[in-house]
Amino acid sequence: MLHLVTGGSGFLGRLIRRELLARGEYVRVADVWEEPERHPETEFSFCDVRDRQAVRAAMRGVDVVHHNAALVPLSKSGKAFWEVNVEGSRIAAEEAARAGVRSFIHMSSSAVYGAAKEQPITLSTPTCPVEAYGRSKLASELAVREICNRFGVQLIIIRPRTILGPGRLGIFQILFKWISCHTNVYVIGSGNVPFQFVHARDLMDAYMLAAARSQAGTYNVGTDRYGTMRQALENLIGYANSRSKVLSLPKALTIRTLQILDLLRLSPLAPYHYLTYHKPFCFDIRHVLQLGWAPRYSNDEMLRETYDSFLGEADNADPVSTLSPHRKRVNESILWLLRKLS
């Protein structure tokens, strides 16, 4: 079968592509940039998902679409969130149906739940995003669901918790840098709230099991071993033999300050970060376990591995990764001053 991976040059797209190739599948990547290390047996189609003609061309002969092309919170893309995440997804689903694809697998986000009061979150928990990125991801889900239902295309939706693993940088690069420099790190409020991550390898295992099941469905994916945000940070500091401490910041004042700094473009943190990371957030994953999936990594184990990966790559930055928000280093902006004062 021929698989199309939109956003196939990004962090998740690359992982999906590699899993498919390892299984002997044929893969075509659709993206706005091509990475030099692309597997020689992988086709590449230059494609912006907002360009219907380019999407239509990329869909020719495709059996399964893995839709990952999206703008992420770190990009702070404003109205472009809607253009790419919603309208781009709509175009991808419509052209997939037009091309007669068998299955459409849509990578969504836990951001569709916002700061849900119900914990752990189940598939019946109401979606209530609290910022532009989350609203765009929920709208994209609704758009592709309507199209796939109308044309009889099998739809699988994956909602991962915050992803960790080797090569995952983005906002975590700042955390890891501060810990490695023995700088204090901060939580909004006490940090004593349950908080769940997912390792990229575990996500790929669940993803491939859901894809192989050949049945429409939605899957919320996270580890089954996690504690509080404060515990995760303190355990990582201990592992790193760092002199850093976890310090609490007042909720209301900190969020308001970060909102102002965000508007002034002085902070790398996006609304998704400062509006949700101090709230409890964990998935009930029983429906994924029923697939025969078992997560291999706990919060602590995945943070340690990602931290070690960061240290190993600290002096060997990949210039290509600057095009992928989750794989690039992030400018600290005004947080540099906080680090110097800590």
pLDDT, tens digit, 9 for 90 and up, residues 137-194: 999 999 999 999 999 999 999 999 999 999 888 889 999 999 999 999 999 999 999 9
Residue 264 lies in a domain: yes
Question: Where in the sequence is the domain holding 324, given as residue range(s)?
Answer: 165-195+226-280+300-341
In which residue ranges of the chain is pLDDT below 70? 314-330, 334, 336-342
Among the listed residues 299, 290, 120, 112, the one whose alpha carbon sits nearest the alpha carbon of residue 206? 290
pTM beyond 0.85: the answer is: yes
Residue 331 tokens read as: 């400018």
Residue 251 tokens read as: 């909720």
pLDDT at position 316: 45
Residue 99 lies in a domain: yes
Residue 337 lies in a domain: yes
Among the listed residues 276, 318, 325, the one whose alpha carbon sits nearest the alpha carbon of residue 71? 325
Residue 293 tokens read as: 């999936």
59 and 96 part of one domain = yes
Place of tokens 């809607």: 82
pLDDT at position 304: 98
92 and 171 part of one domain = no
pLDDT at position 335: 75
181 and 310 part of one domain = yes
Residue 172 lies in a domain: yes
Which DSSP letter does residue 321 get?
Answer: G
Residue 170 lies in a domain: yes
pLDDT at position 66: 98
137 and 117 part of one domain = yes
Q: Is 23 exposed, middle or buried (0-12, 13-18, 19+ CB in 10 A)?
A: exposed
What is the number of other CB atoms lying within 10 angstroms of the CB of residue 256?
12
Yes or no: say if 66 and 5 are a contact pair by the CB < 8 Å rule.
Answer: yes
Residue 294 lies in a domain: no
pLDDT at position 338: 66
Which DSSP letter does residue 199 get?
Answer: E
Residue 245 lies in a domain: yes
183 and 37 part of one domain = no
What is the number of other CB atoms lying within 10 angstroms of the CB of residue 239?
15
Residue 286 lies in a domain: no
